[in-house]
């Protein structure tokens, strides 16, 4: 059961997230998959050990923890942050509901030779974990409906600091303009940094912000890969009229770049750390 939001921002947040989910269900031509993250889980891993990441999130988070302290990563994905952070602290606990993501995380930890990490399967709402010194939650809250209790649980599970990592614009911003071409309607945008700021203020949480390096997603390797990913983001089935329309649209809006193809309006991601002491 979702605990009710009570602030103006919390209520608005829930309305937006539920509206976005309802919009997906309304246009969906295929049955939703059991594990939404399986096709993209490979994107949420860190680079190979020793190679530098496209962004500075791990370096900035590492400044918030010492080698004797513990980190809790909520919605850890494939270990993009959890695995490298384990090298800066005593232990990392990774809470992650998606099996595909957990598989990536375990494989990555093995490849990095990282052993001071444990995985708690399940959502944050249902997880039972001890407090940790630093609690990190990166790019997870966008789809959470019971946002106020989610945030309160992050706070109460942190001994020192809780840190959200969020983009200024939706993570899927690059796919949004396709909605009006294919579905003849604007896509509802999930909450991001501005809504997080209003929400935390209304919850009387005093936070600070650190702007991280901008980074741009890897290009689609081929036109076929672009097509498959866009089709999935638009929830359309392979043999529908909308899919045929998508081929035509992509012919106009895909541009060739170094390493593949991008939608012509693609902008870099602009992430920030929003953190507070507890």
Ligand X SMILES: C[S@@+](CC[C@H](N)C(=O)[O-])C[C@H]1O[C@@H](n2cnc3c(N)ncnc32)[C@H](O)[C@@H]1O
**What span, in angstroms and rounded, lies between the C-alpha atoms of 35 and 55?**
27
Task: Give the nearer residue to ligand X in terms of CB position, either 164 or 182.
Answer: 164
Q: Which residues contact 48 (CB under 8 A, 6 or more apart)?
A: 111
* Strands of the chain, DSSP E: 70-74, 91-96, 117-121, 132-138, 158-167, 208-211, 254-257, 260-263, 271-277
Minimum CB distance to ligand X, residue 41 (Å): 8
Minimum CB distance to ligand X, residue 74 (Å): 6
Options 121-129, 153-161, 187-195, 200-208: segment touching ligand X (CB under 6 A): 121-129
Q: Which residues contact 69 (CB under 8 A, 6 or more apart)?
A: 89, 90, 133, 134, 160
**What span, in angstroms and rounded, lies between the C-alpha atoms of 61 and 40?**
24
Task: Give the nearer residue to ligand X in terms of CB position, either 49 or 264.
Answer: 49
Task: Give the nearer residue to ligand X in terms of CB position, either 129 or 249.
Answer: 129
Residues numbered 45-84 forming contacts with ligand X, rule: CB under 6 A: 74-77, 80-81
Binding mask 206-245 for ligand X (x = CB under 6 A): ----------------------------------------
Binding mask 8-47 for ligand X (x = CB under 6 A): -----------------------------x------x---
Which neighbouring-strand residues pair with 137?
Answer: 164
Task: Give the nearer residue to ligand X in terms of CB position, either 77 or 242.
Answer: 77
**What span, in angstroms and rounded, lies between the C-alpha atoms of 205 and 170?**
23
Q: What 8-state DSSP symbol labels residue 119?
A: E
Note whether 273 binds ligand X by CB under 6 A: no
Minimum CB distance to ligand X, residue 92 (Å): 12
Minimum CB distance to ligand X, residue 142 (Å): 8
Residue nearest to ligand X (CB): 77
Q: Which residues contact 191 (CB under 8 A, 6 or more apart)?
A: 13, 16, 17, 141, 142, 199
Note whether 123 binds ligand X by CB under 6 A: yes
Task: Give the nearer residue to ligand X in terms of CB position, either 56 or 125.
Answer: 125
Options 59-67, 96-104, 191-199, 222-230: segment touching ligand X (CB under 6 A): 96-104
Minimum CB distance to ligand X, residue 165 (Å): 6
Minimum CB distance to ligand X, residue 238 (Å): 25
Nearest to 230, CA basis, from 266, 178, 173, 268: 178
Q: Tokens 């976005």 sit at which residue?
A: 20
Q: What 8-state DSSP symbol labels residue 78?
A: T
Note whether 271 binds ligand X by CB under 6 A: no
Nearest to 132, CA basis, from 158, 154, 113: 158
**What span, in angstroms and rounded, lies between the C-alpha atoms of 19 and 24?**
9
Binding site for ligand X (CB under 6 A): 37, 44, 74-77, 80-81, 95-98, 101, 123-125, 138-140, 144
């Amino acid at each position: 059961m979702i605990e009710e939001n009570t602030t103006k921002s919390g209520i608005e947040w829930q309305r937006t997230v539920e509206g976005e989910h309802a919009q997906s269900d309304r246009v969906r031509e295929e049955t939703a998959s059991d594990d939404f993250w399986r096709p993209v889980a490979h994107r949420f891993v860190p680079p190979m050990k020793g190679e530098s990441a496209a962004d500075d999130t791990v370096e900035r988070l590492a400044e918030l923890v010492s080698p004797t302290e513990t980190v809790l990563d909520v919605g850890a994905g494939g270990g993009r942050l959890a695995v490298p952070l384990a090298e800066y602290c005593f232990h990392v606990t990774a809470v992650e509901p998606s099996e595909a993501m957990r598989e990536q995380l375990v494989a990555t930890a093995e490849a990095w030779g990282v052993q001071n990490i444990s995985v708690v399967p399940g959502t944050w709402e249902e997880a039972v974990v001890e407090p940790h010194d630093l609690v990190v939650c990166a790019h997870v809250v966008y789809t959470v409906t019971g946002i106020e209790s989610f945030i309160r649980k992050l706070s109460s599970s942190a001994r020192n600091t809780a840190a959200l990592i969020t983009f200024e614009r939706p993570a899927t911003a690059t796919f949004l303009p396709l909605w009006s071409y294919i579905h003849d309607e604007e896509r509802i945008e999930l909450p991001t940094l501005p809504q997080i700021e209003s929400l935390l203020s209304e919850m009387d949480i005093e936070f600070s912000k650190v702007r991280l390096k901008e980074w741009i997603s890897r290009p689609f390797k081929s036109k076929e890969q672009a097509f498959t990913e866009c089709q999935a983001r638009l929830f359309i089935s392979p043999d529908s009229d909308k899919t045929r329309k998508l081929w035509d649209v992509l012919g106009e809006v895909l541009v060739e770049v170094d390493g593949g193809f991008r939608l012509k309006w693609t902008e870099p991601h602009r992430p920030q750390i929003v953190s507070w002491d507890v």
